[in-house]
Amino acid sequence: MKQIVVAESLTKHYGDFPALKGVSFNISEGECFGLLGHNGAGKSTTLKMLYGLARVESGQLRLFDHPISLTPPAIKQILGVVPQEDNLDPDLPVLENLITYARLFGIGRAQAREKSLAMLRFMGLDAKEESLIDALSGGQKRRLVIARALLNSPRLLILDEPTTGLDPQGRHLVWQKLRGLKSEGVTMVLTTHYMEEAAQLCDRLVIMHEGLVLTEGTPSELVASHVLPFVIEIRLPLDAIPDDIGDRVNAFGGEALPVMEGLFLYTREGNRLWQQIGDWGLPQHSCFLRPASLEDVFLRLTGRGTEP
Amino acid sequence: MIGAFRVLSRHWQVFARTWLHNLMFNVAEPLLYLSALGFGLGMLIGDIEGVSYLQFIAPGMVALSAMYSATFECTYGTFLRLHYQKTLQAILVGPVTVGEVIAGELLYGMFKSVLFGVVILIVVSILGLVPAVTAVFIPLFLVLPGAVFSILAVCYTAMIKNIDQLNYYITLAIMPFFLFGGLYFPVGNLPDWVQQLNWLNPLYHSIEVCRALALGQISDRLWVHVAVLSAMIIVLARLPLRLMKNRLLV
């Protein structure tokens, strides 16, 4: 498979603060690649390096087989970018926002208009052509930014938290559109806080923490290699949970992990442990048994009790 | 460089929607000065250097309008696009370089500067205050001060983080330019050291040339003013990019 992005030991400092401490990953053609991590993990900085708002400080970056120190216009020409902030042009109405942006890519006026109208339809915004940006809802703005990123038919789509701030319908709509683009062969890289989003969209992902890549793999590989397959969430305050639960779970062959002032029990034998916990003083109605997910991997690797 | 014109075409789209408000803002102020000082003060003064007081200050109004237009576009306008609207960052994600984004800002400042200078020129011509046909060279000349004021404004804007700091530039640079630049009285009446400092005042050079062209007082001395403005452009030309690079890129 052709490598679209090859990043090796990328570093970046903001003053004395190390934002990236040696980040490496590859993205193959046609793949949807995810970067997961807390705020401040270095996801946005990594993406900015790809789309040309951050210079490569040290390490090596190759995009479409070109070595990059600051992404040049010729490569930006084939990127589609959804930045974290909705930086739509408030001085122009919706349709003109898109036409003007398409013109920046050297697309002729008539074709830019046609393409913009098609993208508004694609993102379900065709009724908003003449609206001002300020009059759009948060979800509509986000969809418009995504529409803008698609005007130049990009070969690599870079999405920095594409669905943050969207309601569930809006999020599913965006996912549906992104899956459609993926099936057309568009390569994608996205950052997200939503594990469900990563699991739904990403073929492969990395979990980042404090400027480092902690792990890499497909969502199911990561779940299989970092956590036991079943989880019982104990939804009780820590002081209402008997002290010896940790030891009992360990003896059972599982593992207890404190998460956000609660306790998660990981095990290979979900049903057997579920039958057991009543005897250990944990009422079942305060507990919840489920298969382990990416979220558990994330919690485990990036620290406990902090905001995901 | 094609990128710079693509950036400019974005600004042009915005201008096409807002030109009427722009016109009111940029034209009203010089005309208010012209009428208040021209009719008020002019009554007391009579002729100055052989022309009526209104004729004396009218070309200065052209230079003033040109300075304000470039200055406001490349201070407040650029600051908003950089820090509030993030328009410059959005453009930079497209297939353009930082240099082209900045060139687009400067070209827009120059465009507005020449345009609103010309609008005032037309108004004062209609009022019969421009006796010489050499005034037709004023629009061409205004490109030079337009570039100087745009460059200065973008440089200052790149150096500040808070929009209130723009007031320093307006009060400490633009106001002295305009008060001591020879707009309302001949600079020969000023103390010697102020006259020396005026060589650094781009508006002084702009007023001198506009007035000479408007009144038909052509002399070789005009080339000196043109040369000084050109030198300012050459010396400062690379500075906006150097300063803005750190604002747009990390």
d(CA A169, CA A305): 29
pLDDT of B210 higher than 90:
yes
Inspect the interface and report whether the beta carbons of B90 and A88 lie closer than 8 Å: yes
Residue A55 in contact with partner chain B when CB distance is under 8 A: yes
Mean pLDDT of B140-149: 98
Residue B118 in contact with partner chain A when CB distance is under 8 A: no
Chain A residues in contact with B8 by the CB 8 A cut-off are none
Mean pLDDT of B134-151: 98
The answer to whether B91 and B10 are in contact (CB under 8 A) is: yes
Residue A88 in contact with partner chain B when CB distance is under 8 A: yes
Kind of pairing between the strands at A79-82 and A187-192: unpaired
- The string of pLDDT tens digits covering residues A209-227 is 999 999 999 999 999 999 9
| Cα–Cα–Cα angle for B97, B100, B102, rounded to 5 degrees | 110
Mean pLDDT of B191-216: 96
pLDDT of residue B40: 84
pLDDT band at A238 (very low <50, low <70, confident <90, very high): confident
- The string of pLDDT tens digits covering residues A185-197 is 999 999 998 888 9
pLDDT of residue A180: 92
Mean pLDDT of chain B: 94
Dihedral sign from CA coordinates of B171, B177, B179, B180: positive
pLDDT of B16 higher than 90:
yes
- pTM of this structure: 0.90
The answer to whether B109 and B148 are in contact (CB under 8 A) is: no
d(CA B41, CA A189): 68
Which of A286, A300, A287, A281 lies closest to A228 in space, CA to CA?
A300
pLDDT of B129 higher than 60:
yes
| Residues in a beta bridge with A190 | A34, A159
pLDDT of A308 higher than 60:
no
User: Chain B residue with minimal CA distance to A87?
Assistant: B86
Give the one of B95, B248, B249 whose C-beta lies nearest to A105's C-beta. B95
User: Chain A residue with minimal CA distance to B77?
Assistant: A91
Mean pLDDT of B77-92: 96
pLDDT band at A241 (very low <50, low <70, confident <90, very high): confident
Give the one of A53, A55, A91 whose C-beta lies nearest to B14's C-beta. A91
- The string of pLDDT tens digits covering residues B155-200 is 999 999 999 999 999 999 999 999 999 998 899 889 999 999 999 9
- The string of pLDDT tens digits covering residues A138-194 is 889 999 999 999 999 999 999 999 998 888 888 898 999 999 999 999 999 999 988
pLDDT of residue B45: 84
CA distances from B39 to A244, B33, B193 (A): 94, 10, 31
pLDDT of A39 higher than 80:
yes
pLDDT of A307 higher than 70:
no
Mean pLDDT of A239-244: 85
Residue B159 in contact with partner chain A when CB distance is under 8 A: no
- The string of pLDDT tens digits covering residues A66-119 is 999 999 999 999 999 999 989 999 999 999 999 999 999 999 999 999 999 999
Give the 3-state secondary structure of residue B231: helix
Q: What is the ipTM of this complex?
A: 0.87
Inspect the interface and report whether the beta carbons of A91 and B17 lie closer than 8 Å: yes
Give the 3-state secondary structure of residue A214: strand
pLDDT band at A306 (very low <50, low <70, confident <90, very high): very low
Q: With left for phi above 0 and alpha for psi between -120 and 50, is residue B92 left, alpha or beta?
A: alpha
pLDDT of B143 higher than 60:
yes
**DSSP one-letter code for B160:** -
- The string of pLDDT tens digits covering residues B216-247 is 999 999 999 999 999 999 999 999 999 999 99
- The string of pLDDT tens digits covering residues B43-64 is 888 888 889 999 999 999 999 9
User: Chain B residue with minimal CA distance to A151?
Assistant: B94
Give the one of A70, A73, A88 whose C-beta lies nearest to B96's C-beta. A73
The answer to whether A71 and A51 are in contact (CB under 8 A) is: yes
pLDDT of residue B164: 95
Residue A92 in contact with partner chain B when CB distance is under 8 A: yes
pLDDT of A305 higher than 50:
no
Which of B207, B202, B212 lies closest to B236 in space, CA to CA?
B202
pLDDT of residue A304: 54
What is the helix, strand, coil percentage profile of chain A, to 5?
A: 40, 30, 35
